[in-house]
Chain A
Amino acid sequence: DTEVTQTPKHLVMGMTNKKSLKCEQHMGHRAMYWYKQKAKKPPELMFVYSYEKLSINESVPSRFSPECPNSSLLNLHLHALQPEDSALYLCASSQGGQGRYEQYFGPGTRLTVT
């Protein structure tokens, strides 16, 4: 199974709402990632978890809060977002974080902030 799943597929939220994005993989991968992608642009790395520990935070605003409950799950908690946060949010995983391993991406969550 080489699948990364993400829920929900679409999410519309107001600027005062709290919501969460979920990601799951069952490939035994030990590194998991959150990316933000604007239309027709490359993905921008937000967070990296390695062995369930936060390893990289790319200076992401605190209104985004990641969580890794176990080695298969990754959450992204959203609170007080801005309209410019509307984007496709991609989750990915890889066997390790050493850079030689390819990343497997989920289909993404299309987020719209109103």
Chain B
Amino acid sequence: AQSVAQPEDQVNVAEGNPLTVKCTYSVSGNPYLFWYVQYPNRGLQFLLKYITGDNLVKGSYGFEAEFNKSQTSFHLKKPSALVSDSALYFCAVRDMVIGLNTGFQKLVFGTGTRLLVSP
């Protein structure tokens, strides 16, 4: 089964500083990787994905992620953090399951990293 790991429960950064939220993956075959953000009492919002192509992926709200095949990593980055970026961030990977009718693909989420940006 495919999996992702988020080694940090929490990341603290000062506003205006660059931020990195780490994610490593374990897959067989080509990985499809995603980042989502969740604000308090809200659903998840899609930030960006890597399917194929350029290793640097740009997404919503100024976020970007770098796919590194040799290090099996897909870290989320932003050059200058905002207090409003404070939220819970999930990395996810596509996995294959045997469904009721045929093979089907689903997302497997990491445990999440809480980002706190201080003023």
Contacts and interface: CB of A to CB of B under 8 A. Distances in A.
Interface stretch (B11-19, B42-50, B69-77, B78-86): B42-50
A53 interface: yes
Nearest to B96: A99
**What DSSP secondary structure best describes chain B's contact surface?**
strand
B43 A55 contact: no
B42 A55 contact: no
B32 A105 contact: no
Nearest to B2: A99
Interface in B40-69: 41-46, 49, 51
B112 A48 contact: no
Contacts, number: 74
**What DSSP secondary structure best describes chain A's contact surface?**
strand
Contact of A42 (B49, B96, B106, B112): B112
Nearest to A53: B101
Contacts of B34: 102
Contact of A50 (B46, B88, B96, B104): B104
B25 interface: no
A105 B43 contact: yes
Nearest to B114: A40
A42 B110 contact: yes
Interface string A39-73: 01111010010100111110000000000000000
21 contacts: A40-B88, A40-B112, A40-B114, A42-B109, A43-B90, A45-B106, A50-B101, A55-B101, A56-B99, A56-B104, A88-B41, A98-B105, A99-B95, A99-B96, A100-B51, A102-B34, A103-B44, A105-B43, A106-B43, A108-B41, A108-B43
Interface of B: 32, 34, 36, 41-46, 49, 51, 88, 90, 94-97, 99-102, 104-107, 109-112, 114
Interface of A: 4, 6, 40-43, 45, 48, 50, 53-57, 88, 90, 92, 97-100, 102-108, 110
